Structure 1
């Protein structure tokens, strides 16, 4: 039996032990924080009556709209970091479930219990987020460049040839997006163990957790990517939103189990 199959079976068994409710909460609460940030982001465009495209084309035509837009963008990012300990708490909750413990809802908010815990969680989240965003900018830069080309060198006319060229261009854009996403998953897989090291190695700084994860994942990257690929059909179903209520807790618990195996093999077992 493949390791991925064993991990997935153990994840289902762990969740079936009266843990589905709290596992679902570990998905919903962070999702609400993300939704709040996205709502603020949308509000910045709606209130001022200016689209993102208009502001991009003529950023100084309406300086008050641009300023309001930028301020709310900062607020949206700020919301994510203010609530970032919830994301850390969710990782802890999934790890507890993966270890056969009874999940507790209070675990989600454990990093709000003190200034040291809260600050440590925010610094770690910021450190990891910056790295992931920088890799995303690199991976999706060709997509952005191609979009600029499409806007500046649009195909004129409405004949069959022109429609075929447009279709080919959009197909190429989708291909670039998929390739960028795949490359981003591969490149950021080096940080997979960082949250789990952060949870139980309090003596390590945020940077040390990331660096140690990069070192340990050199031997484990293939195992992690195989696990992700085994979940690919499930993850694709999340585009329909409702399946995510099942898939995300299942996937996160499986990831926590996989991380446990990797850390135990490296002599860094999670207690």
Structure 2
């Protein structure tokens, strides 16, 4: 049985043994996200009403929520302010569950308990968001330009000046090539961003700063990003089932538990590799790694709910 299969099997077992707790945490997260969506929709409605009756600044007037720079920016900032401690808290909660460490449902809000924890989680999520945006932009820039140029040739005035049929043919070919490249680059971007998969788990342990957690995640995920991408693909059927809503309340804790258990496996493997590797550590950022006895890195020890 492969490592992925063992992780999913043990995660499923852990969820079934703690179903009430995992379901409660999932419902809490779902309700918070739903409340946020409702508030955003209400704010959008208010802006639309005001824009039709009052002289609003140009950055708001005539824009819907989806495209207004001011509203989109405020929405993203609100997401970071509200969800940063929750995302880190949820990562910690499931990570501790997979290690059979006692954890109360309300530990989900642990990173709201002090300014230091709150600001640390916010800073971590801000860094991850900006890095993800930057790398996604770089990966998809060329395909987006090609798609835009193809659309311009097919529908723009420049295409008509070149001659309708020729411009349409060239534009259509560019559109097809651009879409294919966009899909491929999106997949490569998804794989590349897996380098940050462990950051929340490492930071939530309290032994790393946000910067250290990101750097150590990148180091631990060397050569592991593609296997984690295929790990996500094994949940594709489960994700599609969530369209029916009800399966979501099983799929969400199952997936988050599997990710947490995979993170335990990779982190323990990484720590043991650091101790046995002959070369010196690449940077001083890895001083946050806890001391552990060196052993076989293929068999991480973190409780019953893990690969065996």
> Structure 1 pair 251/222, CA: closer, same or farther in 2 (3 Å)?
same
1:208-264 Cα distance to aligned partner (Å, 9 max, x none) = 110011111114334423322322333344455544333222121111111111222
> Structure 1 pair 164/34, CA: closer, same or farther in 2 (3 Å)?
farther
Instruction: Tell me the residue number matched to 1:57.
Output: none
Normalising by structure 2, what TM-score? Answer: 0.68
> Structure 1 pair 166/8, CA: closer, same or farther in 2 (3 Å)?
farther
Please state whether the residue corresponding to 1:266 is helix, strand or coil. helix
> Structure 1 pair 252/63, CA: closer, same or farther in 2 (3 Å)?
closer
Paired residues in the alignment total 257
Q: Give unpaired runs (5+ residues) of structure 1.
A: 51-60, 157-161
Answer yes or no: is the 8 Å Cα contact 2:154–2:172 preserved in 1: no
1:78 correspondence with 2:72: no
State the Cα distance separating 1:10 from its structure 2 match. Answer: 0.2
> Structure 1 pair 30/183, CA: closer, same or farther in 2 (3 Å)?
farther
Instruction: Tell me the residue number matched to 1:184.
Output: 189
Matches within 5 A, 1:3-152: 3-17=3-17, 19-35=18-34, 46-49=45-48, 62-65=58-61, 69-83=68-82, 84-101=84-101, 103-152=103-152
Structure with bigger gyration radius? 2
Normalising by structure 1, what TM-score? Answer: 0.77
Answer yes or no: is the 8 Å Cα contact 1:38–1:76 preserved in 2: no
1:229 correspondence with 2:225: no
Please state whether the residue corresponding to 1:180 is helix, strand or coil. helix
> Structure 1 pair 26/180, CA: closer, same or farther in 2 (3 Å)?
farther
> Structure 1 pair 206/151, CA: closer, same or farther in 2 (3 Å)?
same
Please state whether the residue corresponding to 2:11 is helix, strand or coil. helix
Answer yes or no: is the 8 Å Cα contact 1:23–1:93 preserved in 2: no
State the Cα distance separating 1:136 from its structure 2 match. Answer: 1.9
> Structure 1 pair 143/214, CA: closer, same or farther in 2 (3 Å)?
same
Distance 2:140 2:70 in 1: 25
1:47-91 Cα distance to aligned partner (Å, 9 max, x none) = 5559xxxxxxxxxx9455179933322321122122210111111
Please state whether the residue corresponding to 1:154 is helix, strand or coil. helix
Answer yes or no: is the 8 Å Cα contact 2:150–2:171 preserved in 1: no
Answer yes or no: is the 8 Å Cα contact 1:40–1:76 preserved in 2: no
Which structure shows the bigger proportion of residues in helix conformation?
Answer: 1
